[in-house]
């Protein structure tokens, strides 16, 4: 049990450190968020037009619209500009709780991977790395990549994250976990 706890702690730390570097110091996700000099005008328009926080698809279909109304609205929007907007009334730059929650998620993710790896008889470095990267690629394909298909966004940063962070965790676990 002690071995699993140490593996989880170090694995979670590897994930957390890579995510910090990826989002803050390295340009891995830079292409995902653009800048516009019109941001003040846009925010003013959003503040006047939106009363509730949330994510909006514009143009959208009002709640309760029939299937026929939704289809007509989408056909009318075809070929015209569209936007996906996440709107919040107030920016909170305090990151302590977000970082704590992120670290807890990283620990849980590492723990679940270790649980799977411990089910493999004669675990080797190569098998641990392959399984770890496979888990990362599954996570990438089923969330960021699918979102990039539907919302026409760039997901290459998430692919880099999946390969690097899970490769590093696999390297650590493949070295540490097998019986020597």
Q: How confident is the model over 84-105, as a mean pLDDT?
A: 94
How many whole angstroms separate alpha carbon 64 and alpha carbon 34? 34
Please provide residue 57's backbone torsions phi and psi, each rounded to the nearest 5 degrees: -105, 120
| pLDDT tens profile 114-168 | 999 999 999 999 999 999 999 999 999 999 999 999 999 999 999 999 999 999 9
* Number of Cβ atoms within 10 Å of the Cβ of 11: 27
pLDDT of residue 179: 84
pLDDT of residue 31: 87
Average pLDDT of every residue of the chain:
95
105-134 in b/e form (b: 16+ CB < 10 A) is: ebbebbbebbeebeeeeebeeebbbebbbe
**Terminal CA-CA length for the chain:** 16
**Contact residues for 157 (Cβ-Cβ < 8 A; gap 6+):** 22, 28, 29, 30, 31, 32
| pLDDT tens profile 15-66 | 999 999 999 999 999 988 889 999 999 999 999 999 999 999 999 999 999 9
In this structure, are residues 84 and 148 in contact, taking their beta carbons and an 8 Å threshold? no
DSSP symbol at 140 = H
pLDDT of residue 140: 97
pLDDT of residue 33: 87
pLDDT of residue 46: 95
In this structure, are residues 14 and 169 in contact, taking their beta carbons and an 8 Å threshold? yes
In this structure, are residues 167 and 132 in contact, taking their beta carbons and an 8 Å threshold? yes
Q: How confident is the model over 94-107, as a mean pLDDT?
A: 96
């Amino acid at each position: 049990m002690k071995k699993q706890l140490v593996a989880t702690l170090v694995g979670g730390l590897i994930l957390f450190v890579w995510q910090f570097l990826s989002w803050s110091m390295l340009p891995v996700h830079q292409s995902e968020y653009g800048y516009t000099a019109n941001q003040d005008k846009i925010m003013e328009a959003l503040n006047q037009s939106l009363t509730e926080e949330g994510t909006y698809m514009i143009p959208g279909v009002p709640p309760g619209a029939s299937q026929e109304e939704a289809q007509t609205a989408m056909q009318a929007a075809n070929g015209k500009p569209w936007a996906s907007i996440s709107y919040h009334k107030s920016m909170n730059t305090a990151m302590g709780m977000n970082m704590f929650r992120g670290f807890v998620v990283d620990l849980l993710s590492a723990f679940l991977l270790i649980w799977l790896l411990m089910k493999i008889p004669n675990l080797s470095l190569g098998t641990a790395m392959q399984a770890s990267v496979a888990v990362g690629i599954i996570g990438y394909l089923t969330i960021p990549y699918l979102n990039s298909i539907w919302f026409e966004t760039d997901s290459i940063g998430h692919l880099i994250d999946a390969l690097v962070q899970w490769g590093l965790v696999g390297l650590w676990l493949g070295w540490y976990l097998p019986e020597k």
